[in-house]
Amino acid sequence: MKHIGIVMECDFRREASQEEAFAEAFSLADTAEQYGIDGVWLAERHFAAHRRPTDPMGGGIPSIISVPLVMAGAIAARTKKIKIATGVSVLPLCHPIRLAEEAATVDHISQGRLIFGIGRSSFPKSYEGYGVPYSESRDMFQENLDIILKSWTEERLNHKGKYYEFKDVAVMPQPYQTPHPPIIIAANTPDTFPVVGNQGFPLATGLRGSDIPAAAKSLQLYKDAWKESGHPGEPEIYMRIPVYVHENPEKALENPKQGVMNAFRRQAENAVNAVKAAGPDDAGNLAKRAEALSSLTYEDLLQGRLAYGTPEQVIDKLRYAQQEMGLTGVVIEPNVGGLLTKDQVNESVALVASKVSPSLKKGII
């Protein structure tokens, strides 16, 4: 396994200010660089405010990270070695030329440390807020990706599609990396995996909507499509997984429990909302996901979707995931549900870097 990264969702804690939320985010990035984490992956979340006290789901997980490439530029300027990834940029919500310009700028600020992670997102409320039809997100994603690639690889951009038309546009700056930053596409529904494989891009997936055995089956579709399309070498696969490490095995399970359960209940709610907003190509898969998520217990999550425990236990769980899924890298979610304290998160990340990551990288998996 060559990459151990960390997702930054930049939680805005109920007792904190937005200024403190930004400070905590930058502090976590500094911690990741200090302890030798390979990359920070910046989420994109829109309209993620505190929930009302009357909400039956309890307090939400508000976030201040609505423009990840701006955060990426700030982190790039204060760090020297760590990779900076978008995890993910939601292509249909942004103008493709603007995204190409911003990502190329961050690539220069970081001197080639940018990883451009992209996806469609499964949060219809983000699309509603921007006035973009979620049912058209698949077509919009593909056209935006085509435009960004043309912007980075052609001297003048010429394009005529369903949503955009450009003629003889010079997009500047061009990326620092040649021909462009690594592009990783997120996939979480079964029909998306072979599409990414056919296109020959590295893939990122998560365990919010499926457990490790189910994700392994979907990844086989990706691998088969990769080979059938004639792409050279082996595909790169990155898995996003909740990880919490503590030297005390009881605390390792108890500390994150409430936050995790809150998060998965909200995930089920989001899946129901996505079914209502999705087009016919997506509704069936999303309905199955919503039904499965609503019945999960904490024990179910520990069995196949979380890597919680002592360093040794977490190594074993990630080793199992790597063997089942053929992973290139792991991107840890350090605070699912947002209820761990800043100190608990930093201590867990330090243990991942000092005790978990070295074992996974020694080739003993």
- Could you tell me what percent of the chain has a pLDDT over 70? 90
pLDDT band of residue 266 (cuts 50, 70, 90) is: confident
Average the pLDDT over 125-137 and give the result: 94
CB 203 within 8 A of CB 189: no
Domain over 3-361 is classified CATH 3.20.20.30: yes
Question: In 3D, which of 47, 30, 39, 15 has the Cα closest to residue 357?
Answer: 39
Report pTM: 0.90
Domain boundaries, the chain: 3-361
pLDDT value of position 363 = 60
Instruction: Assign 122 to helix, strand or coil.
Output: coil
Cα–Cα dist 348/243, whole Å: 8
- Give residue 131's Cα distance to chain centre: 23
Look over the chain and give the mean of its residue pLDDT values, rounded to a whole number.
Answer: 91
Question: In 3D, which of 135, 159, 136 has the Cα closest to residue 148?
Answer: 159
Cα–Cα dist 60/262, whole Å: 8
Which of 61-65, 231-235, 311-315 shows the lowest per-residue confidence on average (mean pLDDT)?
61-65
pLDDT value of position 49 = 82
